[in-house]
Amino acid sequence: IIPAIDLLDGQCVRLLQGDFRQCKVYEQDAAGLAARYSAEGARWLHVVDLAASRDGENADIGPLLDLLDAAPQSVQTGGGVRNAADIGVRLDHGADRVVVGSVSINQPQRFAGWLRDFGPECLVAALDVRLDEDGTPWLRSHGWTRESGLSLWKVLDFYAETGLKHVLCTDIGKDGAMAGPNLDLYREIFRRYPDLRVQASGGVRDLDDLHALSKTGAR
């Protein structure tokens, strides 16, 4: 289990399906929350810098770097990662893995180069999907605002040959809805790509959902 903190302008928040207009702000201090998760046994923490995702190179990533410096557990972080320097600064501040979304979808050759340069243990491909009426998972990028025109299967077929190890896959339709995860999606990913370490995201409500996910191949 990897607890997640979404940061926006230094605050802990939750967006509904990535919509900044539907933003719930929490009172918890991010560093304090990370420490609490660690004390309760969380060996990893997932941090999304929504300001970096929203504002790009103009974003103030200070709150993220402060959290990376303070968090007692291993951290993977994403949001607004657009070049090798973005990866480097996060790793330099203590991130153990950097999560890359839009580039991993729209510029696969470039991301494959980063896998070679930084190593597959340091990078996670964030592949966020919205299912069509036939159940095909289509990838969306730029904070879920843009259709890529690519299916999850086409992109994973490419990465299966590049040494990619870690994938974070979110069913956008489930995220923030508290309606349960898409178990069929993760079963199919594991069936096709049994060597990938897949992190399931979106819709988890309770322990029953976690037990169900543990049987899909997600890990």
Enumerate the active-site residues. Answer: 6, 128
Alpha-carbon distance 3 to 20, whole Å? Answer: 21
Q: Name the β-bridge partners of 76.
A: 46, 97
Residue 190 burial class via C-beta count within 10 angstroms: exposed 0-12, middle 13-18, buried 19 and up: middle
Answer yes or no: are the C-beta atoms of 22 and 15 closer than 8 Å: yes
Alpha-carbon distance 219 to 217, whole Å? Answer: 6
Alpha-carbon distance 14 to 110, whole Å? Answer: 30
Sequence-distant (6+) residues with CB within 8 A of 6 are: 12, 13, 14, 15, 47, 48, 50
Alpha-carbon distance 181 to 179, whole Å? Answer: 7
Answer yes or no: are the C-beta atoms of 47 and 26 closer than 8 Å: no
93's tokens: 């501040």
Alpha-carbon distance 26 to 98, whole Å? Answer: 24
- How many other C-beta atoms are found inside a 10 Å radius of the C-beta of residue 163? 11
